[in-house]
Structure 1
């Protein structure tokens, strides 16, 4: 299980806000904290979890592979932190001799309404706004209404088409605060393939374990 603390804000008088969220991760996936401890987490991943390398890479090139992977992870972590990221999650062990190209980010998401608005109304407005190249639906996360967006997106710098799934979740008992859980994968090169669909289903299963912690 992965846990991560939220920044502390004065809670409403009638009920305390959660201190952190929790997720159950699939085997081989890890959490990289983005606010503090990022360097230490990367060191642990690269020299502990990544004892294996993909098939076809000679043993003599294993260290170079790890260093290249570190640069990629650091790049992802910096970009996620700039966008309000709290944690970066990704698979670090190969499955069937290959590394899955997938990740998701948990981030704070300011939704400034100017005055208190019920979460259901915000979600309805976001659904009405639509999603280019995709769809938005109302779902239930941790016993409360949330938003799920499923769409296709092209990374401009790489011209790589990816499948994206975002969840937008109101922070319990803390009006006006939201977090997002943002998943991205190119799948097997076909964002509509059965393999890509399996990765999306895996992410949805992870989000189904999401819960708030008040300890």
Structure 2
């Protein structure tokens, strides 16, 4: 219930504005079709200065990586996977973010505030903050994850995650989680720009009601 005593509507989804050269891959249905669209639209072109044979190997490797990312994201409760798909100088920027459902539970504003406070208190990363997104309070957490080849984490990464309750006090929660190794230097200007780009994308988040 809202403060006026009316029942808050529960959203049917969300919207985000993504940068040019990025694509959304739905993970619950339509995944295969979305991947095929990416392969034929973005990965069928030979970048300038790249030999055709090298371009073919690049496309095959990118296809393998995209399919692997999509499978892993779906296993972890992902709703949608977003990532850059337009090669630049023969490579694709190593970055992605996943929108996922979280099994936190606990309906009601009081419970949501308690969970948000606990999430912020239990975060060890720097600069834990809160942010309003389409009327919902989200906790933003940032950390660095060391490479663990046994868990398919081949390089060190910087990660940023927003966690928030779904509007309508339904007890459902949403996570928007970004990960990138940047240019190999987690403190470089390039890596910082990728983090800033993700924060800007999250700033366009809106609940969708239909």
Coarse TM-score class (shorter-chain normalised): 0.7 to 0.9
The answer as to whether partners of 2:44 and 2:59 remain within 8 angstroms in 1 is no
CA contact (8 A) 1:134 1:152 kept: no
- 2:187 matched to which residue of 1? 192
Q: CA deviation at 1:135?
A: 4.1
Contact 2:15 2:208 in 1 (8 A): yes
- Per the TM alignment, residue 51 of structure 1 is displaced from its structure 2 partner at its CA by 3.4
How far apart, CA to CA, are the structure 1 residues paired with 2:137 and 2:111? 10
Indicate the residue corresponding to 1:77 in structure 2.
Answer: 70
| Contact 2:147 2:154 (C-alpha < 8 Å) held by counterparts | yes
Q: Cα RMSD over matched residues?
A: 2.0
Matched, 1:44 2:58: no
| Secondary structure in 2 matching 1:51 | coil
The residue aligned with 1:176 is 171
CA contact (8 A) 1:138 1:148 kept: yes
Counterparts of residues 89-168 of structure 1 (less than 5 Å) = 89-95=82-88, 98-113=91-106, 116=108, 117-131=110-124, 133-157=125-149, 158-168=153-163
Of 57-66 and 104-113, more deviation after overlay is shown by: 57-66
Give how far 1:53 is off.
4.8
Q: Per residue, is there more strand in 1 or in 2?
A: 1
Post-superposition Cα deviations, 1:89-126, rounded to whole Å, max 9, x if no partner, equal 0001134664211000000011134x754322211111
State whether residues 145 and 159 of structure 2, in contact with CA within 8 Å, keep that contact through their aligned partners in structure 1.
yes
1:43 and 1:159 mapped to 2: Cα distance? 26
Aligned residues: 201
With the length of structure 1 as denominator, give the TM-score of the two structures.
0.86
Q: Measure how far apart 1:151 and its partner are.
A: 0.6
Asked if 1:30 is matched to 2:23, the reply is: yes
Are positions 1:18 and 2:7 aligned together?
no
Q: Deviations over 1:64-89 (max 9, x none)?
A: 32122111111111100000000000
- CA positional deviation for 1:60: 2.4
Structure 2, unmatched stretches of 5+, are 1-5
Superposed, which structure 2 residues align to 1:192-211 within 5 Å? 192-211=187-206
Structure 2 Cα separation of the partners of residues 16 and 126 of structure 1: 25
TM-score calculated relative to the size of structure 2: 0.88
